[in-house]
Structure 1
Amino acid sequence: MEFTSAAARQRYDAIVAHADEIVVGLDFDGVLSPIVEDPTQAHIHPDAPQALVDLSDLVRAVAVVTGRPARQVLALGGLDEVGDAIGDHGKELFVFGQYGNERWSSTQRRVISPRPPHGLSTFERELPSLLRRSRASGAYIEEKGLAVAVHTRRLEDANEAFERLLAPMSELARLHGLVVEPGRNVIEVRSDGQHKGHAVETLVKEQNAGGFLFAGDDLGDVEAFEAVAELRERGLPTLLVCAASDEQSVLLPLADVVVPGADGVMDLLRRFIADVRA
């Protein structure tokens, strides 16, 4: 765990002091789950369920904010069971899936989701042809319902394939009124206008939050970081945590704390829990 400045250390101390007013928002992949080659096998870190339960005792609310479909994260994270345990403590777990387009809570127990964006089905039909033309037929296509993601991690040169695909996929998305969200060896196509920053704003409003801790690892977390930074400008205690990797560095200049992947996030959460209880 590395603070990026003396001010960052002070921000950490402030959220510890105001823990009962804080909302904790956590990305899933790379934060609660280690990054793996097969995204269908990205199971939650073994220490995360207990950490989420312990956190819920101390803070205003805990939320998983992810680009994955909510149902997928519920399964990979065992979050139904985690929600049960958090409910036994009189608290509630929230899941915001597909960048906030979907939401679930441990009290409501159903996923609320809009219709798929116009143009997505046509984009998906044209995608295999694009992959063949780009010499990336072996890329893994993940259909999310409200979005589609192309993973290059399984290909022989994942980074080069990612760079080769980004421009043509962006152009095809534009033709169908969609936007591209690049990530760690993944290119996601979805509707415009919804991002994790909106999920942060919703949580602050609904939970009457007096501060926010957000942990992310990727380009898709930038808007959440920016929304938390705006709360900081309003005088609320905040902390921005980057789960760093060799593949992505976009969050590093925005972060207060840098940790090594999901293991580092668990260390941070354990330290935060211990410091609040001290």
Structure 2
Amino acid sequence: MPQRRRCGVLGDPISHSLSPVLHRAGYVATGLDWEYDARRVPAGTLADVVGSLGEQWRGLSLTMPLKREALPLAAEVSDAARLAGAANTLVRSDDLTWSAGNTDIGGARAALAERGVTALTSATILGGGATASSTGLALCDLGAREVRLLVRSADRAAETASVLRSHPGRPDVVVAGLDDVVTGDVVVSTIPAEAQEAGLVTRCADVPVLFEVLYSPWPTPLAAAADGRVLVSGLDLLVHQAALQFGLFTGVDAPLDAMRAAGEQALAARGAS
């Protein structure tokens, strides 16, 4: 009897991850007898862990702090992962080599498109870390040519600014403080809920689209103030990037509705506990 196929999510911390919930729901909905688990993998140890995996392992979802460590482990690197300088996906081929991809970018595009946002000219991103890089590249794919990065520390945003400027669209990227002006067709928040102070919420009020990448706690101050505007949530992003991974891992179209419903139920249960 052939071994059951296995996939999983690796990172540190990892106990909060909804990825097992989403992927397992996908397996149930499509009738796949696969396994998907979460495993804590600290920074600096990814190569050893990947090297120890048996032949039944077919896909890995990667979260912080492993997304940059994944690139040297892959025989092939997708254009998106190379542009971002980070991979959230490792897919194993039949020859047992790994390919690296980045479904965060495509997931962000799909999450925006689902809410009717398919073209942009300018945007503001709150925060300057890895999530700002991937969502920023998605915004540039949708046409944004002016991107403002509002951050607490300009030095910490230097890498993200460089990544966005390397996009083929060659956007104009401005780095400023969190207390600066918020403008554009969309504002993307990648900052913690506790950093969303009242003045910042007010400055974001006139931007027609809010993309809040958090899904817990929910609603964040920014999301709570988004009545009447287009709101893209962190769960939207998570489900769409997971659906793209699901297809890469299994070769089967992802059951998006089933995966989303499972994620909503899991978050509701967490909120009730």
Which band: TM-score by shorter chain? 0.3 to 0.5
Query: Whose helix fraction is larger, Structure 1's or Structure 2's?
Result: 1
TM normalised by structure 2 equals 0.38
TM normalised by structure 1 equals 0.37
Higher relative contact order (Cα pairs below 8 Å, separated by 6+ residues): 1
